[in-house]
């Protein structure tokens, strides 16, 4: 398995980085796997592939590293995203959780024909927005202003309600019972 490490310095400096841009030979009934190590930033993986030699179609998928170990052990594995078996295609998928992922080029559909696949994988890193908080003095002013506004609305409403009740009582109308 080949490793593709996305470092924090590269991810911070470039909004997108080509992780893989090469032609891959996949024997019949086999796969090729490429490791994607995403450490901090959420990122979007854009993948484009085309079978340039061979009769079979391939499937390109992304799965978590733990699921890839299950696949290697012959067990069923959950794929994060996958194409169908085809001669060419593309997909985009947002990896929102940092971790270890595997990009899989799968040629297990037709056991007789090998496939030479032109593969281009680009990682587009989302900029991390800094969480900002207000200074303590400004927070206090906002809380005091909000409470003062709430108190003004309560007092204004209470005065209007009392005025309406007095007018109703002075006219001799019965007050509604609770």
CA angle in degrees (0–180, nearest 5) for 8-12-13: 120
Report pLDDT for 102.
Answer: 92
Report pLDDT for 112.
Answer: 80
Could you tell me the end-to-end alpha-carbon distance of the chain, in angstroms, rounded to an integer?
77
Report pLDDT for 149.
Answer: 95
Three-class DSSP category at 37 = strand
Report pLDDT for 174.
Answer: 63
Question: Per-domain residue ranges for the chain?
Answer: 2-125, 134-172
Report pLDDT for 150.
Answer: 95
Three-class DSSP category at 154 = helix
Would you identify the CATH topology of the domain 2-125? Jelly Rolls (2.60.120)
Give the full edge-to-edge strand order of the sheet including 88-95. 16-26, 115-125, 43-53, 88-95
Q: Which residues of 149-170 are buried (b: 16+ CB within 10 A; e: fewer)?
A: eeeeeeeeeeeeeeeeeeeeee
The DSSP secondary structure of 53-88, one letter per residue, reads ESS--BEEEEEEHHHHHHHHTTS----SEEPPSBSE
Regions in the chain scoring below 70 on pLDDT: 1-14, 40, 126-131, 173-178
What Rg, from alpha-carbon coordinates, does the chain have? 31
Q: Name the nearest CA neighbour of 150 among 161, 138, 139, 142.
A: 142
Taking the C-alpha atoms of residue 36 and residue 27, their distance in angstroms, rounded to an integer, is 22
Pairing of strands 115-125, 43-53: antiparallel
Backbone angles phi and psi of 32, in degrees to 5 = -125, 140
For 109-141, how does the pLDDT look when each residue is reduced to its tens digit (9 = 90+)?
Answer: 877 888 999 999 998 886 666 667 888 899 999
Report pLDDT for 32.
Answer: 92
């Amino acid at each position: 398995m080949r490793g593709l490490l996305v470092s924090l310095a590269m991810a911070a400096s470039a909004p997108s980085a080509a992780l893989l841009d090469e032609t891959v030979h996949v024997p019949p009934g086999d796969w090729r796997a490429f490791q994607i190590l995403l450490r901090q930033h959420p990122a979007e993986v854009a993948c484009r592939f085309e079978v340039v030699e061979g009769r079979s179609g391939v499937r390109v998928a992304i799965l978590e590293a733990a699921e890839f170990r299950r696949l290697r052990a012959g067990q069923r594995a959950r794929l994060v995203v996958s194409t169908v078996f085809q001669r060419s295609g593309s997909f985009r998928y947002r990896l929102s959780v940092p971790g270890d992922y595997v990009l899989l080029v799968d040629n297990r559909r037709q056991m007789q024909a090998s496939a030479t696949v032109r593969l281009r994988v680009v990682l587009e890193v989302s900029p991390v927005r800094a969480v900002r908080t207000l200074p303590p003095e400004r927070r206090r002013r906002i809380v005091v202003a909000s409470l003062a506004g709430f108190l003004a609305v309560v007092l204004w409403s209470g005065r209007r309600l009392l005025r309406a009740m007095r007018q109703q009582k002075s006219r001799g109308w019965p007050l509604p019972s609770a």
